Amino acid sequence: MTRSKCCSKRCIYMYRVEGGKVEADYVDWDKAKIHVLSHVIHYSSGVFEGIRGYVTDKGVAIFRGRDHYRRLIRSAKIYRMLPEDYAPEDLKKEGRVKTEDLITRFMEITKDLIRENDLYRKAKKVKEEGKMANPFVYIRPVIYRGYDVKEDPILSPPLGVNPLNNPVEWFIATFLWDDYLGTTAIERGADVITSAWAKNAPSTTPFMAKGASNYATGQLAKMEAVLSAMFRDKDVAGKVKDAINKAREKNYEKVDLSLGLDDLLLPVESIQLTVSGHVAEGTGENVFVVMYEDGDPTKATIYTPPLSASILPGITRDSVIRIAKDLGYPVIETMIPREMLYIADEVFFTGTAAEVTPIRSVDGIPVGDGKPGPVTLKIRERYTGIARGKVEDPYGWVEYVEV
């Protein structure tokens, strides 16, 4: 695979069609652009992935990268974007493309981008400088319907709901990210709400595809969470409000919330329900509920919504189910009523960015003891140990990038 060096040391790989010709190469970060009339901007005709790379002593450990790319290709297929529409020409054999060959090419480009963008060294540097608490490499590939006009675009622009006349394009970007829901959420549990914005019904949007359109209501639910606040003790509300007003007068140079920080709940995420009112997922995470038998955490059963609940078949979700079963926990995929979140002994999120994040309150109601539970912590320890290369990887999930 031939490639051009980036001048800025910040690269994105782009596969685009211009004038009927494919232009595929590593481009400087600031030059990675698409046309404003690209179909994806107007009609959400795009699918994507989020892949995580951990900074380890052996290099950057990409967690289940091939599985993520396999899901990306499947997502595109659901939207009638076939590998033959966007695979590099050298991968097309008699007009067909082998999925595993395309996955390998995507992985090669990803590893090259991580090296070219010097993310291993940069991650260590920002952590040492205190700019990020737990930096990791985030990989974002996108396949989408673009824009290409060979004739006068004023007379016949390729814009309309029908996407079949628009070229299929894609790109891969890599950069650093920090704890998705915040370090506090990881350490003591996340505060969440159940959103008023329901997930689309299964017959309206294909949720087995990680499509851009699936996240339209998720955006509303996310904003609903981060713009809300709840108090365990209402008397604290006024004191906190006064502290914020004083800080506002000083341009927020210092906000003293010590008056009631433990009583202040600042939700960082929403849990969306199905149109029938059952638990679906977070705006970017799958949900698990833990119930003890007779209050004994060693006799716990884990529940999670099924695919029919309009959820994404998460890669981390699959990993956690397999880990939990191997640890001896029964895992049941079933429809979960909203109120089960309130009476559960433990609830936690899973996701590429969220990893395994405990939930300490739902709608202001404490989950269990209001702190991360033993089942969640045990699964999280096992998951992160494998992903970070600290324990044996019996599943073959980790692939290293030498740096």
- CA distances (Å), 142 to each of 106, 123, 334, 349, 383, in order? 11, 23, 31, 24, 26
CA distance 209 to 18: 27
- Beta-bridged to residue 290, according to DSSP, are 302, 346
Contact 141, 111 (CB under 8 A): no
Q: How far apart are alpha carbons 209 and 76 in whole angstroms? A: 7
Exposed e or buried b for every residue in 167-203, given b needs 16+ CB within 10 A?
A: bbbbbbbbebbbbbbeeebbeebbbbbbbebbbbebe
Residue carrying the six token digits 């029964």 = 330
DSSP structure class, residue 90: G
Sign of CA dihedral 344, 361, 356, 140: positive
Q: Which run of H or E residues covers position 230? A: strand 230-231
- Our CA angle for 173, 178, 181, nearest 5°, is 115
In 57-205, DSSP assigns E strands to 59-63, 92-93, 96-97, 136-145, 168-177, 190-194
Concerning whether 210 is annotated as a catalytic residue, the answer is yes
Tell me the three state secondary structure of residue 14. strand
Query: Which residue is catalytic, options 5, 77, 124, 210?
Result: 210
Cα-based angle 345, 348, 353 (whole degrees, multiple of 5): 170
Residue type for position 124: K
Q: Which residues are catalytic?
A: 210
